[in-house]
């Protein structure tokens, strides 16, 4: 090939690439977007922030919205095909009267109703499907939590045509084998399960033990940090009283510890991945972003979807005093049960001050 032809081809490739990434002004005169279809999402994102998340907080509604992305998407099965559900298709909202009856979806009614209202009222003249809305609200909500990665958002999920069947969502009382098998059937390996569990850094339990409703899974439910992975490794207390099915005792007062998290943190298949996230914010955030990108499009034809990730706000970094994993007051390396023999456990400092219970997360 003559050199001149090569130069022409290279120039064409560069021009095509530039055209693909060029941002065009949106009709609102404020935003720009790489695809015109993304423009309609900017006012919707503003509406979600104001209506669902109190102007941009990382509170209970964000936790529940993130939980909803998972409970909608995981209704998907390679082995069962369409009878296993349509994945991230919005079925949990479209067929809420059926899917919220499933025990694993307990407590999701409130956030589904809030999101349904916003879907009809926040979107102005641009309407999106329930499946798109659930994943969009989840990604916007996560962006309010300092330390979180900016999640991908693809637009274009068709409306759900049927509810997902029951028993697709892993339960906190399931064994690690059962949980890994369910995730494998949806296309996730055990390491990706651990990555998805980073969601428990910004989560609280509502229904597992009503006597401690709102108990978070780590001491910093308003921050997407690595505390969850550290605090789960603290040795449990010997007294176990008042525990509910799916719960195991946490040594930190006010904190909820799920039996499933406890088992996965100590399972030989995942203990090293679990430990690798302790005090490694970038590694954890990156793994979570990748696993969420997969989860958010389960059952969808991504070749028909438009990448509108640009509408998701850029999350703030962690406050400097939370940039490292730290033991809660009263704990130290002596309290850790490290189960990964391959790598030494990091040496971490202890938060100064008195031992204080973790307060519950309550709806605003």
Q: Which of 71, 200, 239, 322 is catalytic?
A: 71
Give the Å distances, CA to CA, from 219 to 77, 189, 199, 327: 34, 28, 14, 10
* Radius of gyration (C-alpha) of the chain in whole angstroms: 22
Q: Which two tokens stand for residue 142?
A: 């996560």
Q: Which two tokens stand for residue 104?
A: 């694993």
Residue 119 Cβ vs Ca ion, minimum distance, rounded to whole Å: 15
- Tell which positions 66-105 bind Ca ion, by CB under 5 A: 72, 75, 89, 91
Residue 19 Cβ vs Ca ion, minimum distance, rounded to whole Å: 35
Q: Are 204 and 215 in contact (CB under 8 A)?
A: yes
Position among 48, 58, 96, 164 found at the interface with Ca ion (CB under 5 A): 164
The stretch near Ca ion (CB under 5 A) out of 162-170, 264-272, 318-326, 349-357 is 162-170
Interface mask (CB under 5 A) for Ca ion, residues 226-245, using x and -?
A: -x------------------
Q: How far apart are CA 115 and CA 93, in angstroms?
A: 9
Residue 95 vs 180, nearer CB to Ca ion: 95
Q: Are 225 and 217 in contact (CB under 8 A)?
A: no
- Counting contacts by CB under 5 A, is residue 130 touching Ca ion? no
Position among 129, 220, 247, 273 found at the interface with Ca ion (CB under 5 A): 220
Spatial CA neighbour of 214 closest among 335, 63, 323 = 63
Calculate ∠ Cα 264-266-269, nearest 5°. Answer: 70
- Counting contacts by CB under 5 A, is residue 146 touching Ca ion? no
Q: Is 71 a catalytic residue?
A: yes
- Counting contacts by CB under 5 A, is residue 201 touching Ca ion? yes
Residue 39 vs 63, nearer CB to Ca ion: 63
Residue 27 Cβ vs Ca ion, minimum distance, rounded to whole Å: 32
Q: Are 176 and 40 in contact (CB under 8 A)?
A: no
Q: How far apart are CA 222 and CA 141, in angstroms?
A: 11
The stretch near Ca ion (CB under 5 A) out of 31-39, 171-179, 215-223, 259-267 is 215-223
Q: Which two tokens stand for residue 74?
A: 């995981």
| Alpha helices, H only, the chain | 3-21, 36-39, 41-51, 60-73, 91-94, 96-99, 109-121, 130-143, 176-186, 190-196, 227-231, 259-265, 271-276, 281-295
Q: Are 202 and 62 in contact (CB under 8 A)?
A: yes
Position among 60, 132, 192, 218 found at the interface with Ca ion (CB under 5 A): 218
Residue 49 vs 325, nearer CB to Ca ion: 325
Size of the site for Ca ion (CB under 5 A): 11
Residue 97 vs 125, nearer CB to Ca ion: 97
The stretch near Ca ion (CB under 5 A) out of 4-12, 224-232, 245-253, 313-321 is 224-232
The set of residues, in sequence order, having a beta carbon less than 8 Å from that of 339 and lying 6+ positions away, is 233, 265, 266, 268, 271, 275
3-class DSSP assignment, residue 114: helix
- Counting contacts by CB under 5 A, is residue 223 touching Ca ion? yes
The stretch near Ca ion (CB under 5 A) out of 61-69, 103-111, 113-121, 221-229 is 221-229
The residue behind tokens 């005093």 is: 321
Residue 289 Cβ vs Ca ion, minimum distance, rounded to whole Å: 16
Q: How far apart are CA 75 and CA 163, in angstroms?
A: 9
Residue 59 Cβ vs Ca ion, minimum distance, rounded to whole Å: 13
Residue 15 Cβ vs Ca ion, minimum distance, rounded to whole Å: 41
Residue 361 Cβ vs Ca ion, minimum distance, rounded to whole Å: 11
Interface mask (CB under 5 A) for Ca ion, residues 33-72, using x and -?
A: ---------------------------------------x
- List residues binding Ca ion (CB under 5 A): 72, 75, 89, 91, 164, 201, 218, 220, 223, 225, 227
Catalytic residues: 71
């Amino acid at each position: 090939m003559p050199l001149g032809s090569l130069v022409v081809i290279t120039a064409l490739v560069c021009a095509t690439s530039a055209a693909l990434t060029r941002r065009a002004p949106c009709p609102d005169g404020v935003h720009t977007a790489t695809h015109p279809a993304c423009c309609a999402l900017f006012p919707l994102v503003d509406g979600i922030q104001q209506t669902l998340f109190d102007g941009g907080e990382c509170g209970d509604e964000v936790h529940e919205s993130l939980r909803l992305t998972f409970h909608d998407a995981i209704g998907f099965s390679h082995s069962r095909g369409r009878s296993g559900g349509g994945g991230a298709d919005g079925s949990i909202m479209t067929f809420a009267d059926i899917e919220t009856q499933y025990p694993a979806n307990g407590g999701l009614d409130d956030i589904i109703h809030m999101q349904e209202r916003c879907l009809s009222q926040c979107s102005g003249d641009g309407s999106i499907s329930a499946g798109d809305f659930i994943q969009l609200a989840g990604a916007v909500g996560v962006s309010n939590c300092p330390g979180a990665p900016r999640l991908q958002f693809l637009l274009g999920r068709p409306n759900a045509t049927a509810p997902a069947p029951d028993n697709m969502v892993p339960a906190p009382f399931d064994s690690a084998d059962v949980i890994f098998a369910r995730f494998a059937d949806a296309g996730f390996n055990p390491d990706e399960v651990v990555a998805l569990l980073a969601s428990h850094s910004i989560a609280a339990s509502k229904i597992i033990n009503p006597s401690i409703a709102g108990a978070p899974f780590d001491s910093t439910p308003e921050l997407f940090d690595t505390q969850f992975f550290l605090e789960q490794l603290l040795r449990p207390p010997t007294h176990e009283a008042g525990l509910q099915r799916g719960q195991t005792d946490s040594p930190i007062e006010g904190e909820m510890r799920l039996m499933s998290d406890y088992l996965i943190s100590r399972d030989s298949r995942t203990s090293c991945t679990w430990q690798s996230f302790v005090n490694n914010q970038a590694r954890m955030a990156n793994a979570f972003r990748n696993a969420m990108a997969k989860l958010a499009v389960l059952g969808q034809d991504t070749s028909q979807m438009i990448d509108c990730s640009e509408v998701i706000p850029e999350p703030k970094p962690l406050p400097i005093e939370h940039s490292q994993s730290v033991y809660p007051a009263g704990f130290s390396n002596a309290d850790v049960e490290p189960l990964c023999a391959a790598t030494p456990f990091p040496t971490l400092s202890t938060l100064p001050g008195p031992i204080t219970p973790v307060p519950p997360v309550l709806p605003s």
